[in-house]
Structure 1
Amino acid sequence: MSDLVPDELWRRRILPSLLVHEAVCVRAACQAKAALVTAALLVERIDGSLARHSLTGLIDIDRTAPLPFSYVLRAAYVLEQGSNEWPGMGRFIRLAAIYRLIPANGLPLVLSAQWLAAHLPSRTAFHQLPLAMAIYRLFGHMVTHNTHSLALQPADNGAYRVGNEVPFGVVPLGELPAGHPYAEGYQRTDPVIRWSGWLYPSFSAFLLKRLLCRWRRQEGVGKLVLSARIGRDDFRCGRLLRTDDITEGQGIAVDYRLDWGNLNAADARDVRDVILSGWRPNETVAAHLCVWWGDIELYTTEESVAVQLLPLADRYPVSVGAARRVLRPFGLERDVIDRERVVG
């Protein structure tokens, strides 16, 4: 029956509605339409996925002709996976570039034919890990910290490690106690992570925190410029720590908690970073707030544009302006920005 459908209708209507692996099944099963499923068609699908996930300029394929069909098939398949996972990794890549974990001329990160063939011989091989981890594995070996690759690797006892970091483990939903704050909204594609005495609500949050806390220090990129003591019992800090109302226009909330390895700890301490800038297209300054145990700190890669005697807002206008927009709804703007203890 498919033989009777005009090729143009296949090109315009049918093939675009199929997933990549479904289109390949057409190529294998329908001799009359096999010629329609080409490497060029898959490159179009790749470009569509890159645009949809806001990855254009961040991730790409090697476009040197001729393009092997098996190569573009693997690339098209992995780029088609997921919904929020790829855009989240795109934000990580933008920040990693600002923090110099990727060379200045290192973008886009190219998914090479050799790497994909060696590590993804089948669809099943890709899905051995939770999706966010599987996606990071595709490019993590191209990100470096102090010359060491930050590739995702297996460790002992079912754990994993990024580069030469301390191993971490995936916490299944069933291991979280009833009522645990990370049980609600648990995503198997981006699962809860245990790293030593710290717990992260997702692998994406774990990556971003390692970037902000440790990896950004490479080559002295990023500095603490402001620290304000608000107090652990101040309800405004509590609201900022726990609110779900931080919009994408304001920043990205990255949550984690210190529970000393005990999921039932009654005295677990919650911490939140709010990434203010550096993850949107065309931003060149990475800045974030750290809200922890009654303190609020501002870190930034922004260079001071005025002498040290002037107010912080005059010296770091991008970072301070973004911080004000987050702090203002919680009544913290004046106490943090205008009565700050300037550090840098």
Structure 2
Amino acid sequence: MSGEGEPKRPHTQGGDSAAANDNTPVTREAAGVQQLFNTTVAAQTPFLGDKWLSVFAALSSAKDALRDVDDGVKGTIRPIGWAKPPPPADSADGLPPDVCRDVIYPWLPIDEAVCSARPISRAHGSQLVNEAFVQRRITKHLSRHSLTGLIDVQRTAADTTNAAAPTPAPPTTSSSSSDAPAPAAAGGGRHVSHFCHLCQCCYALEHGGVVWCEWPEFIRLADIYKLTPSTGLPLIMSAQWMAAHLPTKADFHTMPLALRQYSTFGHLLNYQGTSLAITKLDEPDDGDEGKKGKKEAEGGDGDGDGGVTRQRYRIGSSEHEWRFETLPLSGLPPRHPYRHTYDPHNPPIRYHDHVVGDFLFPSFTAFMKWMVLVEWCFQEGVDEKQVFGAVVGGGDERYRSLLTDPIDGHTTIDFITEGEWDDGQRRLIILKGMKEDDTVAAYLDLYGGIINLYTTEAELEGQTRLSDRYPTAMQLARSLLTKHRLAHIIPQ
């Protein structure tokens, strides 16, 4: 009887030779990863063998038909009654190895490729879906999401074996936090084979590809603002952290994808000595009861489309911590602009600023870029400064255009300050800091009819004109403001 969650193997000929292969080191390792993927909630869904049964049957039938034609008279159909030739010795493997390698496995998600390798090709599956296969998948995903050089995995077994001790989960006020280490990780961390680690990382990278494409800009900004490790980029998904925090694929799906993706590398970032790891919170903040009526008036009951709920999180800890909450679709008023762009994988965020009030961001990734520029800009050695500020007036149509229109060639971070300036509209226009070779950042901050220019560019001493003291930031700002007929606000 097959184990729970394990796919049933079809009865085939040549069972003795196949069984001999079931005890090889590679096969045992593949079986371990199969157990990793099968012992999850997702394993309760129909298995790939059922979903792809017709495909496998069709391919096998086509293979048999070709053999029949070859064994008969070319150009004819074998007459009824002819005895079918005995099957070749490798028929116990189902599909030929090259078909599995070149046709089937490349199209399957990594968990289905691993879990189906042995049932489809028992003698060859573990050799085809091996470390080299998974590493190629990882490299492809990193390249596809423009993450090459920014994020990576421990590439060799030595890296996995000799890595540092597991990264501890940040302290929580509740033991039910989804990012608390699994019991198996207690006492120094659960051992994970290199193949298993590669599969965990590959699974993480191939989920939410469109959202992964949002992170390169954030990581480049984080590097400019000196939030990345002293060893520099790429940020490495370590075997110890993955084993402690994401032991199964069910754990991966306990947060919206954007938040979970950040969790795989966020603990490596550091602000003034504090890890910027993300933690799910279970207890309410002080004053939450007072906000309850306001949230219910907005139409939110805590249940949202795509599995998003009104859930609180924390980044950082102690004196350097920032709390926010995800918003379900039902938590937005009927005509709210964020309803049109709502993505349950990258949901809107509400963040409370003790000075200004509540900020509402259209997505978690937009919120995180804002955090780098506004909250984490005081990292030692960054030296961000305000170059100039100008008052235009909230009713000026040129200002309104810059505040609301698409800005070609630049990333914008749009968010709402609830109940204040310009009906709450606020925008950061990032002029520099998002591209691969950028070493400084510069951006415009627009709110309440005011335009401010900030930059990390080092000031050139001995110069009196702003355009000479900050040539890069000023040239970019002048170009954009001139295009919107606002060059007159730029000081000399």
Q: TM-score, normalised by structure 2?
A: 0.64
Residue 103 of structure 1: CA displacement? 3.3
Cα distance in structure 1, aligned partners of 2:229 and 2:265: 14
Report the count of equivalent residues: 330
Paired position in structure 2 for 1:255: 414
Higher strand share: 1
Report the AA paired with residue 277 of structure 1.
Answer: K
Q: TM-score, normalised by structure 1?
A: 0.90
Paired position in structure 1 for 2:218: 92
1:62 to 131, 135, 154: 154
Higher alpha-carbon deviation: 23-32 or 4-13: 4-13
Q: Is the counterpart of residue 320 in structure 1 residue 474 in structure 2?
A: yes
Superposed CA deviations along residues 262-294 of structure 1, whole A, max 9, x for unmatched, are: xxx997421100111112111111111101111
2:341 to 181, 185, 194: 185
RMSD across aligned positions (CA):
2.1
SS of residue matched to 1:71? helix
Cα distance in structure 2, aligned partners of 1:291 and 1:169: 24
SS of residue matched to 2:243? helix
C-alpha contact 1:306 1:314 (8 A) present in aligned 2:
no
SS of residue matched to 1:13? helix
Cα distance in structure 2, aligned partners of 1:267 and 1:104: 41
Paired position in structure 2 for 1:150: 276
Seen in structure 2, the aligned counterparts of structure 1 residues 183 and 287 have a Cα distance that, compared at 3 Å, is same
1:213 to 374, 377, 396: 374
Paired position in structure 2 for 1:29: 119
Paired position in structure 1 for 2:359: 198
SS of residue matched to 1:110? strand
Cα distance in structure 2, aligned partners of 1:335 and 1:180: 35
Seen in structure 2, the aligned counterparts of structure 1 residues 269 and 27 have a Cα distance that, compared at 3 Å, is same
Q: Is the counterpart of residue 225 in structure 1 residue 317 in structure 2?
A: no
Paired position in structure 2 for 1:49: 141
Can you give the 5+ residue segments of structure 1 that lack an aligned partner in the other structure? none
Residue 15 of structure 1: CA displacement? 2.2
Higher alpha-carbon deviation: 45-54 or 212-221: 212-221
Report the AA paired with residue 162 of structure 1.
Answer: I
- Report % sequence identity: 41
Report the AA paired with residue 63 of structure 1.
Answer: R
Seen in structure 2, the aligned counterparts of structure 1 residues 267 and 90 have a Cα distance that, compared at 3 Å, is closer
Paired position in structure 2 for 1:106: 232
Cα distance in structure 2, aligned partners of 1:38 and 1:139: 25
Cα distance in structure 1, aligned partners of 2:445 and 2:315: 23
Cα distance in structure 1, aligned partners of 2:113 and 2:430: 40
Cα distance in structure 2, aligned partners of 1:63 and 1:199: 39
Residue 4 of structure 1: CA displacement? 5.3
Seen in structure 2, the aligned counterparts of structure 1 residues 8 and 320 have a Cα distance that, compared at 3 Å, is farther
User: Radius of gyration: which is bigger?
Assistant: 2
1:16 to 102, 106, 110: 106
Cα distance in structure 2, aligned partners of 1:36 and 1:314: 60
Cα distance in structure 2, aligned partners of 1:161 and 1:153: 5
Cα distance in structure 1, aligned partners of 2:327 and 2:208: 20
Report the AA paired with residue 233 of structure 2.
Answer: L
Q: Is the counterpart of residue 133 in structure 1 residue 286 in structure 2?
A: no
Residue 305 of structure 1: CA displacement? 3.6
